[in-house]
Structure 1
Amino acid sequence: MSTSVHPAHPHIPVGPHVLDNPAWAALTGPHARFAERVGRAARYPVDVSPFTALSDPDDPRAWDDLAALVGPGNLTAANGVTRPPDGWQVVESGQGVQLVDTALHAEPAPEAVRLGLDDVPEVLDLIARTRPGPFLPRTVELGTYLGIRRGGRLVAMAGERLRPPGWTEISAVCTDPDHRGQGLATRLVRAVAAGIRERGDTPFLHASAANTTAIRLYESIGFTLRRRTSFLLVRAPGGEG
């Protein structure tokens, strides 16, 4: 099956493409070592990432496998899905956007430091203050996470999350409210992107469709909207009583 291209940016592929189902592509590719899998469904360990993935969201058999993977009555995230099959309960829903690097100026940030497992308490504290999205105790194992400190305190960070073949997602971009307006997030995004490009991947990212400020920032530094996405929090069938 051939892949078409973005009409305004010919180097942006549009579906069918690996970025149409990036969590599945990551869990069956570069992140396979993290995968917990039942047939046509896979997920990251619950202390690494909330992402679960289906080989084909339109395949009822994949949903059956997901139900077996997560267990009766349990909650799980479902990305790129607008409506689950009968028996699944939608608990929360939202809309997002996927942007890809088309003109980003990537460069290292000399002040940035690599964050690891020893930094997790400090990272989780920053996440709690800024709420950029889900971040768990082992999320730092997914890729390179960089931070900037002021007075010894972590005040900004960004890192790598999903890694489908040929692509790496930039995620957890956040800055302490007291240190915004200094360009820290932009510097960290450029630095993370520089590392991604060094290994031959292309950066991409996701944002809430409601976060227009972040979307404008990403577009201003060289990202282009590829597609709109949806995400659900769903409850698996069964488990009553």
Structure 2
Amino acid sequence: MSKIEIEELAKRCHAAQTAREVNSEHCRELFQRALAEQDQQAWSVIYQEFGTMVTGWVYTYSRFRETGEDTAYFVNEAFARLNRYGVKHAQAGTFEKLSSYLQFLKECVWSAIENHLRQQKKDALWAAFSLEEEIAPQQLPAPDPVSDRAELLAVVRQALHATMQDDEREQIVVEEAWGYGLPPRTIHTKHPQLFSSPAEVNQVKHNLLKRLKRQPLLKELQVLTG
């Protein structure tokens, strides 16, 4: 479609939004061209026209403040998800009205925030259960709220208990590395009769982690997998 046709649609869509018209066909057509035809000019128009609306959805979502991100981050994520997952629906004619597009876009906001929070939990756990001997503070992800971290660690402790073998070395690693946060070098120094080197402490951690990732409890929560 030519530039002037998109410009005319943009004007009419904006007028409809200003008048609070429900299910404007001109706005729906812009979404259709943006997704089904991958028209970049149409994309720019819907981003500009509906960005404020999406910002409101982000800001009012109950768990948004847990993320530590600003609204613009999730506005961009929502539109990216719309483009990633909405194209086939647009091409199939699933979105019959503007409201159908907007509902899908709102669900993209929700999923973007929830997926971000899940990823934060995964990152926090991998930091807590790192195989590295030492991790510089700037390499660590932003910590979860204390209550969230306590909940996560409680879940992992349950999984550790389920997977831990009757091995004194594993019990020490669980207690001292993951219970008290001691680095492998310190654990080796405290227990030279059990560990020949810090690398051996890391190997025990590695073996535990491999079994942990197969634990149904963690798989169900999508903490270490998925």
Q: Which has the higher helix share?
A: 2
After TM superposition, the score normalised by the length of structure 1 is 0.24
Higher relative contact order (CA 8 A, sep 6+): 1
Larger Rg: 2
Higher strand residue share: 1
Q: TM-score, normalised by structure 2?
A: 0.25
